[in-house]
Amino acid sequence: MAEENWTSEVDSKYRLVLLAARRSKQLQKGAHPRVRSNAKKFTRIALEEAQQGELHYMPLAKELEVAE
């Protein structure tokens, strides 16, 4: 998968790996793929879902404490 094909939601390679790993586990547990794929491996299917913009996430907002 080329970097140019990343969705606008995936802002780093690290986040892509985390999303694909989590989605791969969901597929292993029986979730249905969101895209048509010839791939047999769950990780590849998860990466194709990310490439086609089918994986969405909401970043957790952390409150920053400011020392006074």
pLDDT digits (tens, 9 = 90+) for 23-52: 999 999 999 999 999 999 999 999 999 989
- Cβ-based neighbour number of residue 39 at 10 Å: 13
Determine the Cα–Cα distance for residues 63 and 54; give it in Å rounded to an integer: 29
Residue 41, classified by CB atoms within 10 Å of its CB into exposed (0-12), middle (13-18) or buried (19+), is exposed
Q: What is the pLDDT of residue 12?
A: 85
Residue 56 lies in a domain: no
Residue 43 lies in a domain: yes
The chain-wide mean pLDDT, for the chain, equals 84
Helix (H) or strand (E) holding 44: helix 42-51
Residue 30 lies in a domain: yes
How many structural domains does the chain have?
Answer: 1
Residue 4 lies in a domain: no
For residue 40, give Cα distances in angstroms to 43, 64, 67: 9, 43, 52
Q: What is the pLDDT of residue 45?
A: 95
The boundaries of the domain holding residue 25 are 11-51
Residue 38 lies in a domain: yes
Residue 6 lies in a domain: no
Residue 1 lies in a domain: no
